[in-house]
Chains A and B, each alone.
Chain A
């Protein structure tokens, strides 16, 4: 091939090369933009935390029917009191931990729900770890500590 032919074929080759580069970059950009996730885990965790707190606290006092002789009353159900569905919580995308103290003494055992692995993962930061929020409320001689977490991302069908 003479020098004119070299130039001719190199020119065509570079054309297709740059078309390929532009195509890949545009395709990757479109993929990244339109596959982004809307993260509402923090909002979910906050709603759950507030519902758990409201299950115990009424204004500036502890609700009746929760504590019976320094233990949780027999017919007290946190899921019912908070209005939270146990089936959805136990699916594995949520977690909560509630501790109630009376004069700094823990009442009963911590009330837990959801994926227990989140108890550790709540303190870790990263895209794949749950988003957790907590609140401590003091009413009368009781101290309520609530931790709620969500890692629900939803799913395309």
Chain B
């Protein structure tokens, strides 16, 4: 191959390599930005809070957390996915380290909650708030 042909080939190879690097970078960015964990944290926190808001004392609610567990495993998160603070009336959902989403419920009830990791079910037992008698 003459010198002009070699130069042309080099230029085209460099061009193809640059385009491939760009495509790989875009793919990596999109896959990292689109982990959906943040969106699912928000969705689950609001869903749980609304379930509590609409529930009457004596109700037991079971909520499947399959998608949440799947995302938490994908993000190597081993902490508690759902936490409900009765004193603050707050639901917190975490699906990755450093993440989390808070949402408040206004129903004046006590919530006894339990997550069965094997069946991936969240159980909420809604009860009356015990008022202090002064």
Contacting chain B: which of A40-48, A126-134, A135-143? Answer: A40-48
Min CB distance B43 to A, Å, is 6
In the complex, whether A5 has a CB less than 8 A from a CB of chain B is no
Distance of A51 Cα from B18 Cα, bound (Å): 62
Distance of A36 Cα from B45 Cα, bound (Å): 15
In the complex, whether B53 has a CB less than 8 A from a CB of chain A is yes
Distance of A56 Cα from B59 Cα, bound (Å): 22
In the complex, whether B101 has a CB less than 8 A from a CB of chain A is yes
Contact A33 B108 (CB under 8 A): no
* CB contact between A156 and one of B29, B34, B100, B108 (< 8 Å): that residue: B100
Min CB distance A31 to B, Å, is 7
Residues in B neighbouring A43, C-beta threshold 8 A:
50
- Which of A47, A89, A93, A94 has the most chain B CB within a 10 Å cutoff? A47
Check A44/B50 contact, CB under 8 A, given A26-B26, A30-B33, A30-B34.
yes
* CB contact between B18 and one of A15, A27, A40 (< 8 Å): that residue: A15
Chain A facing B: main interface SS:
helix
A33-64 with Cβ < 8 A to chain B: 33-38, 40, 43-44, 47-48, 51
Min CB distance A136 to B, Å, is 22
Count of chain B residues near A, Cβ 8 A = 36
Contact A15 B15 (CB under 8 A): yes
Contact A38 B42 (CB under 8 A): yes
* CB contact between B46 and one of A38, A87, A88 (< 8 Å): that residue: A38
Min CB distance A84 to B, Å, is 5
B24-46 with Cβ < 8 A to chain A: 25-26, 29-30, 33-34, 36, 38-39, 41-43, 45-46
- Which of A23, A27, A79, A88 has the most chain B CB within a 10 Å cutoff? A88
* CB contact between A33 and one of B11, B34, B54 (< 8 Å): that residue: B34
Distance of A33 Cα from B34 Cα, bound (Å): 9
Check A85/B108 contact, CB under 8 A, given A152-B103, A155-B102.
yes
* CB contact between A85 and one of B38, B89, B102 (< 8 Å): that residue: B89
14 pairs across A/B with beta carbons < 8 Å?
A: A8-B11, A15-B19, A23-B22, A35-B38, A47-B50, A47-B54, A48-B53, A84-B106, A84-B107, A85-B89, A85-B108, A94-B106, A154-B46, A155-B102
Can you name 20 extra interface pairs (CB under 8 A) apart from A33-B34, A34-B38?
A: A15-B19, A30-B33, A34-B34, A38-B43, A44-B53, A47-B53, A83-B108, A85-B106, A88-B106, A154-B45, A154-B46, A154-B102, A154-B103, A156-B41, A156-B42, A156-B99, A157-B92, A157-B94, A157-B99, A157-B100
